[in-house]
């Protein structure tokens, strides 16, 4: 009797089962939840064994997770580094163990780029520039100072560093655009609200809020409304990410402009992992495609928004 063919068709040589160790930043934002889901779904789809670890926004937890992946001899390690600095030692350990490392979402500042295969993620400097360009255009005819407050992401993280510098680089073209206060809100709603409350207390005349992500903007909106002001009108708001809740607020006119940052990195990541395992060449930098949304554009895009 003939045997049933193998599930994979049986013609090709058995594909090696891949184990991927992934260390995630945490669960701080809507962006992060969408990113986690994308990675988990795509790993499943690809048939990989995923060892997933949540670092709760702490570098020490990530370093522990990476060491545990090394000990378990996973095939590939991937992680989204919570901050940029301080990775050389553990990355050298992975290299010594012969385990390739793929960075996703956030970058590291290691000088030795042989410590990882590639960095897959957004160009955060460009995101900051896009925010600055929109603002500069809005206030191009300003004859008085425009007071801007900034809610930074997690201190020392690539998106906080880069979104700040890209924005600053562009707005310095107009001397009326002044950042009068800038503080971290750690990418969370709760902190965004708390810091915005403090900003409102300390500054009489805030014209613009630039938040490094939607969640902080959403927290800040609560503080602005509680102070009896209208978000989007009394204080113009720019944020980054374009997750559903942010797009909702934008469609209601509470956020004026959102720079998109795509969290759906899973499919591209699994492809990179496969190529690395197969010994195929991989680009040293893979940048994700992104756009921007005004309130009107957010209203149009909202019904089909996946995350």
The terminus-to-terminus CA distance of the chain in angstroms comes to 50
The contact pattern for ligand GYE, residues 62-81, with x = CB under 6 A and - = no contact, is --------------------
The residue from 81, 159, 166, 192 that contacts ligand GYE (CB under 6 A) is 159
Q: Are 212 and 164 in contact (CB under 8 A)?
A: yes
Which residues between 242 and 271 bind ligand GYE (CB under 6 A)?
Answer: 261
Q: Which is nearer to ligand GYE, 184 or 213 (CB)?
A: 213
Q: Which is nearer to ligand GYE, 36 or 251 (CB)?
A: 36
- Ramachandran angles phi, psi of 4, nearest 5°: -65, 140
Binding of residue 164 to ligand GYE (CB under 6 A): no
What's the CA gap between 153 and 80, in Å, rounded?
15
Name the packing angle between helices 158-171 and 124-138 (round to 10°).
30
User: Which whole-number Å values give the CA distances from 40 to 129, 182, 271, 290, in the listed order?
Assistant: 31, 35, 14, 22
Q: Does 241 bind ligand GYE (CB under 6 A)?
A: yes
Closest contact distance (angstroms) between CB of 2 and ligand GYE is: 53
> By C-beta, is 19 or 222 nearer to ligand GYE?
222
Q: Out of 77, 125, 240, 270, which residue is the one contacting ligand GYE (CB under 6 A)?
A: 240
Residue that is written with structure tokens 């680009």 in the block:
283
CA distance 291 to 16: 38
- How far apart are CB 235 and ligand GYE at their closest, in Å? 20
Say how far apart CA 105 and CA 144 lie, in whole Å: 38
Q: 């702490």: which residue's tokens?
A: 58
Residues 19-48 that bind ligand GYE (CB under 6 A): 28-29, 31-32
Which position among 167, 187, 257, 307 is part of the footprint of ligand GYE (CB under 6 A)? 187
User: Per-residue x/- marks for ligand GYE, 81-120, CB under 6 A?
Assistant: ------------------------xx--------------
> Closest distance between ligand GYE and the C-beta of residue 122, in Å?
6
Measured CA to CA, the distance from residue 130 to residue 117 in angstroms comes to: 28
* Geometric angle at alpha carbon 258, from 54 and 161, rounded to 5°: 55
Residue ranges that bind ligand GYE, judged by CB under 6 A: 28-29, 31-32, 105-106, 159, 187, 213, 215, 240-241, 261
């Amino acid at each position: 009797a003939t045997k049933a063919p193998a599930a994979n068709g049986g013609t090709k040589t058995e594909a090696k089962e891949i184990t991927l160790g992934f260390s995630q930043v945490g669960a701080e934002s809507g962006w992060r939840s969408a990113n986690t889901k994308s990675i988990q779904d795509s790993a499943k789809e690809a048939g990989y064994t995923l060892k997933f670890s949540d670092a709760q926004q702490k570098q020490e937890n990530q370093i522990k997770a990476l060491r545990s992946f090394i000990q378990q001899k996973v095939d590939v390690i991937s992680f989204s580094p919570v901050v940029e600095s301080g990775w050389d030692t553990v990355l050298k350990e992975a290299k010594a163990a012969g385990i390739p490392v793929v960075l996703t979402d956030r970058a590291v500042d290691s000088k030795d780029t042989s410590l990882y295969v590639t960095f897959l993620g957004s160009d955060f400097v460009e995101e900051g520039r896009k925010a600055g360009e929109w603002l500069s255009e809005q206030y191009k005819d300003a004859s008085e100072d425009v007071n801007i407050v900034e809610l930074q992401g997690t201190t020392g993280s690539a998106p906080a560093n880069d979104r700040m510098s890209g924005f600053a680089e562009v707005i310095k073209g107009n001397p009326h655009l002044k950042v009068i206060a800038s503080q971290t809100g750690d990418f969370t709603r709760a902190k965004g609200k708390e810091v915005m409350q403090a900003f409102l207390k300390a500054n009489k005349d805030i014209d613009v809020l630039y938040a490094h992500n939607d969640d902080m903007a959403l927290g800040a909106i609560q503080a602005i409304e509680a102070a009896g002001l209208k978000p989007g009108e009394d204080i113009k708001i720019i944020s980054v990410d374009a997750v559903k809740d942010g797009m909702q607020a934008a469609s209601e006119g509470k956020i004026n402009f959102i720079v998109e940052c795509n969290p759906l990195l899973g499919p591209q990541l699994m492809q990179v992992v496969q190529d690395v395992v197969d010994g195929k060449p991989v680009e040293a930098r893979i940048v994700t495609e992104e756009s921007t949304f005004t309130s009107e554009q957010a209203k149009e895009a909202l019904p089909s928004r996946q995350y």
